[in-house]
Chains A and B, each alone.
Chain A
């Protein structure tokens, strides 16, 4: 085999491909990686200009040892995604340093594919994918270059060729992406990027939700199929908090219940409470939607009341009517839900549960208890107590504010009877306290309320500042009923959202820094951010969220029925069809050795005669052809002579080209001749 040096017209592309493919890691990883690449590219540049000889084995080994040591120094280990990728990128640079032969260049290109793939592990945005496509074009350009051993080849032709090939490959890639069946992971490789994220925590103490309200980060998106609930019904339940220690609300499980009793993840034994819920699934209005949650590193998910998940999404349903993921949500995560608000009454209240929902810390809120006892005595039903409490909030000078004064001694009494200025969490907390004190089972629910609509994608965006807390009370015959005491104090909070509620107050300025990130930002910017969100949303649902469930649903809508046979056939036909189109386009040659009508006539007869009898040599004149036919088939001799004579008359007449009529006559002569060749 011949050994090529890498042609000089390819060196630029190789350097560019190496730098471009490494760039995402250089921006993400430690600084010494960028330095290493700069050194390597510099050495390479000098070597290619013959100012320096190629570093020897010792130098290269030394560099390798240094790179490994620095990786260990930066990450504390050599395995794991972050360290592994850093090591891969260093090796990529070092392999580039030692490129001499064509084979080395091939290895660099292949390493480049892996480096591109790792860039997609950490960033899955459309922009990153476009960038990776660009890198792939560069790597393909390198391949085209190292296989072009003409020293005078133009380097930009390589780029053009590679670009054309990548463009032709993209439709095929899309076809494969849609049609190749998604397989379940062979082994589990969950990638935990380990970054802390803003979002809800699993408890609620004063001030926690108001902190969230200063963040405009996306919490999740919701795409409805069909009916969309009105704004005042959009309560995205996340957690129910049942245990109160006087300051903080926390999750609690009723005494004596195990998690297995509490959480149903599909299949197996169906607990009683889920059977009851399921039988009520058809009651009244239902909303079907897909939620695409941003990573929270937590297991709980958000949904409207009485959610029925698709258990195939690895989502379970808890007894307090909320959704729980099987694993902490470490990447964007999509799940299908059907919510039936009218199914609430089907949920019974267990005795043990009731105890939990009435429990209060013994020492807190003495005054509040007194108030609640009084309501109890004056009211005939639980319902009336709820009304009474809401009226209390409405009639007394309670004030909705993001910056409440500090609660000093007893948070419940202090708030209810002294400061009376608070945020949704204060209202939810004190309302629940009052209900429990009055003997009505109650709990705090935290989640998000509202959502902004993207007109382009027709989906809702729920941001961190939509975080909200409210209460649920258990009423005989109605089951768990939502009560939002904040709505009693500041109804505009529920109808207009946080921003609407605070717009006119002096606190509006707090939210000024959120202005740009919301669609409410007027004019071009608002439109642009709608578009950006729409693209991101579609990317999320159609590309990143294209899993086996989505795929089978999509294929079912296209192919009718999804059988392996049909999918396989569709795959083969699409790929073959695309390739056939390309082949036509690539191999089409205008003015290809096309024959004139007369030449075709000659060769048809020649072929026929050769097939029927002895093979005839090529290069016969029409006259010689007719003689040859006459020798083999004496019967046909005169017909052959007629044909040859007419042929010559048409073909060699310099004055005019044969007319269609004459050609038809020639054809009939030939056909007559055919019948005699037996």
Chain B
């Protein structure tokens, strides 16, 4: 449904007031709108034609048939409403990405008792996805989100709609989940590594881990440890998953520093840091990161890289 331009802004304000964002929303009569579909209007037209036919042929049974169609329509209002009512939505996971690419947000649909069939979820201007939720179960759905600029990209207003069961009416609701995706800065290559500490701070080129670090021993694998540090030989011998530990080299760790990029605009600073996070990660070099208000201790591995990227994306507000 298109809303005329002059009414658009007040309508949006009204929607925001009526449907505030939340982490968890259960659809109820305050949130559900319902209106006949094109086919619903056509169906009513048919009922009207049968009514006229019944009157003109003075045939009470055809009249009764037209009343039956009208009654079915009224009953369908309740059933269509019921299919959305009681459906819950809450935040799920999120998948970050570089600015300009796409991230994804997980929306979890849950229902206490009733089955909800053929629910269509859609963000404005994107392809819809359809899902059914059984009573007492949860179903999750990943919705793609274009990441326009670095930072937090909040979930846009989600349209939840359904034509079930007869397709005569469409029930819909707008849900704004208090949910966001992080858009990492776009990496920008720079010659100089904005880092200090470590043996090399000009050009990170190394010939392998053992050059930097002293092998210290094994500890139990913790999810997030770099796969390259796992003692695969031991695993093959049946000793379970263990992670090799290395001693810090004497020269100390590499610290990527915000304040080493003075005189460069903020976004570019973040882009350069991002580039070096990726380069160092590729080389399996442990690195730390300092940003105003945040300090990430040196480490390496996938989890560390994500932490660093997320920190760069969330700047200047971390939580």
On chain B, the residues within 8 Å of A610 by CB distance are none
Kindly list the 4 A-B residue pairs having the minimum CB-CB distance in the complex, ordered from nearest.
A172-B71, A169-B71, A176-B67, A120-B61
Q: Is there contact, CB below 8 Å, between B132 and A592?
A: no
Q: Is there contact, CB below 8 Å, between B72 and A166?
A: yes
CA distance A351 to B78 in the complex (A): 73
Asked if B148 lies at the interface with its beta carbon under 8 angstroms from chain A, I say: no
Task: State whether A147 and B167 are in contact (beta carbons under 8 Å apart), knowing that A165-B76, A593-B26 are contacts in the complex.
Answer: yes
Task: State whether A169 and B52 are in contact (beta carbons under 8 Å apart), knowing that A120-B61, A121-B57, A189-B57 are contacts in the complex.
Answer: no
Q: Is there contact, CB below 8 Å, between B56 and A543?
A: no
What are 19 of the A-B contact pairs (CB < 8 Å)? A120-B62, A124-B59, A136-B68, A147-B166, A147-B167, A149-B130, A161-B165, A169-B68, A170-B71, A172-B70, A173-B67, A182-B55, A185-B56, A186-B52, A543-B64, A544-B60, A544-B61, A547-B60, A583-B78
On chain A, the residues within 8 Å of B46 by CB distance are 110, 113-114
CA distance A172 to B73 in the complex (A): 11
Q: Give the size of the chain A interface in residues (CB under 8 angstroms).
A: 62
How many A-B pairs have beta carbons closer than 8 Å: the answer is 152
Asked if A35 lies at the interface with its beta carbon under 8 angstroms from chain B, I say: no
Asked if B128 lies at the interface with its beta carbon under 8 angstroms from chain A, I say: yes
- Please name the residue on chain B nearest to A113 by beta carbon: B46
A113, A120, A124, A177: the one contacting B67 at CB < 8 Å is A177
Q: Is there contact, CB below 8 Å, between A117 and B128?
A: no
CA distance A587 to B112 in the complex (A): 13
A114, A187, A547, A579: the one contacting B78 at CB < 8 Å is A579
- For chain B, which range describes its interface: under 10, 10 to 19, 20 to 34, or 35 or more residues? 35 or more
CA distance A67 to B164 in the complex (A): 36
Task: State whether A147 and B163 are in contact (beta carbons under 8 Å apart), knowing that A587-B85, A591-B113 are contacts in the complex.
Answer: yes
Q: Is there contact, CB below 8 Å, between A132 and B75?
A: no
Asked if B303 lies at the interface with its beta carbon under 8 angstroms from chain A, I say: no
CA distance A114 to B50 in the complex (A): 8
Asked if B39 lies at the interface with its beta carbon under 8 angstroms from chain A, I say: yes
CA distance A120 to B61 in the complex (A): 7
Asked if B117 lies at the interface with its beta carbon under 8 angstroms from chain A, I say: yes
On chain B, the residues within 8 Å of A331 by CB distance are 58
Asked if B157 lies at the interface with its beta carbon under 8 angstroms from chain A, I say: no
CA distance A148 to B120 in the complex (A): 12
Q: Is there contact, CB below 8 Å, between A547 and B68?
A: no
B62, B77, B85: the one contacting A121 at CB < 8 Å is B62
On chain A, the residues within 8 Å of B113 by CB distance are 589-592
Asked if B65 lies at the interface with its beta carbon under 8 angstroms from chain A, I say: yes
- A106 CB, nearest partner CB in chain B, Å: 6
CA distance A147 to B59 in the complex (A): 32
Q: Is there contact, CB below 8 Å, between B57 and A169?
A: no
Asked if A664 lies at the interface with its beta carbon under 8 angstroms from chain B, I say: no
Task: State whether A149 and B60 are in contact (beta carbons under 8 Å apart), knowing that A143-B166, A166-B72, A587-B82 are contacts in the complex.
Answer: no
Asked if A455 lies at the interface with its beta carbon under 8 angstroms from chain B, I say: no
Encode A80-122 as 1/0 by CB contact (under 8 A) with B: 0000000000000000000000100010001001101100110
On chain B, the residues within 8 Å of A143 by CB distance are 165-168
Asked if A140 lies at the interface with its beta carbon under 8 angstroms from chain B, I say: yes
Which chain A residues have a beta carbon within 8 Å of chain B's beta carbons? Answer: 2, 102, 106, 110, 113-114, 116-117, 120-121, 124, 128-129, 132-133, 136, 140, 143-144, 146-150, 153, 161, 165-166, 168-170, 172-173, 176-177, 180, 182-189, 191, 331, 543-547, 575, 579, 582-583, 586-587, 589-593
B39, B59, B163, B166: the one contacting A120 at CB < 8 Å is B59
Q: Is there contact, CB below 8 Å, between A113 and B71?
A: no
Q: Is there contact, CB below 8 Å, between A117 and B53?
A: yes
On chain B, the residues within 8 Å of A586 by CB distance are 78-79, 82
Q: Is there contact, CB below 8 Å, between B82 and A117?
A: no
CA distance A166 to B163 in the complex (A): 18
- A397 CB, nearest partner CB in chain B, Å: 54
Asked if B69 lies at the interface with its beta carbon under 8 angstroms from chain A, I say: yes
Which chain B residues have a beta carbon within 8 Å of chain A's beta carbons? Answer: 26, 39, 42-43, 46, 50, 52-65, 67-72, 74-79, 81-82, 85-86, 112-114, 117-118, 128, 130, 132, 163-168
CA distance A589 to B72 in the complex (A): 23
CA distance A293 to B48 in the complex (A): 30
CA distance A591 to B135 in the complex (A): 13
A110, A173, A545, A583: the one contacting B43 at CB < 8 Å is A110
On chain B, the residues within 8 Å of A153 by CB distance are 117
Q: Is there contact, CB below 8 Å, between A173 and B61?
A: no
On chain B, the residues within 8 Å of A140 by CB distance are 72, 166
CA distance A285 to B71 in the complex (A): 47
CA distance A149 to B112 in the complex (A): 22
Q: Is there contact, CB below 8 Å, between A185 and B42?
A: no
CA distance A437 to B55 in the complex (A): 53
On chain A, the residues within 8 Å of B42 by CB distance are 106, 110
- A141 CB, nearest partner CB in chain B, Å: 10
Q: Is there contact, CB below 8 Å, between B65 and A132?
A: yes
B26, B85, B128, B168: the one contacting A2 at CB < 8 Å is B128
- A582 CB, nearest partner CB in chain B, Å: 6
CA distance A343 to B67 in the complex (A): 45
Q: Is there contact, CB below 8 Å, between A147 and B75?
A: no
Q: Is there contact, CB below 8 Å, between A172 and B57?
A: no
CA distance A648 to B57 in the complex (A): 74
On chain B, the residues within 8 Å of A177 by CB distance are 60, 63-64, 67
- Please name the residue on chain B nearest to A1 by beta carbon: B128
A146, A547, A575: the one contacting B58 at CB < 8 Å is A547
Task: State whether A543 and B60 are in contact (beta carbons under 8 Å apart), knowing that A106-B39, A106-B167 are contacts in the complex.
Answer: yes
Q: Is there contact, CB below 8 Å, between A589 and B56?
A: no
- Please name the residue on chain A nearest to B52 by beta carbon: A186
CA distance A184 to B58 in the complex (A): 8
- A426 CB, nearest partner CB in chain B, Å: 41
Q: Which of B50, B61, B163 has the most CB of A within 10 A?
A: B61
12 additional contacts, CB 8 Å, given A136-B68, A143-B165? A106-B39, A147-B118, A148-B164, A173-B67, A173-B71, A185-B57, A188-B56, A587-B81, A589-B112, A589-B113, A590-B113, A593-B112
CA distance A120 to B163 in the complex (A): 31
Q: Is there contact, CB below 8 Å, between B61 and A146?
A: no
Task: State whether A124 and B167 are in contact (beta carbons under 8 Å apart), knowing that A170-B68, A587-B82 are contacts in the complex.
Answer: no
Task: State whether A150 and B132 are in contact (beta carbons under 8 Å apart), knowing that A173-B64, A586-B79 are contacts in the complex.
Answer: yes
CA distance A188 to B168 in the complex (A): 32
On chain A, the residues within 8 Å of B78 by CB distance are 579, 582-583, 586-587
- Please name the residue on chain B nearest to A183 by beta carbon: B55
- Please name the residue on chain A nearest to B22 by beta carbon: A618
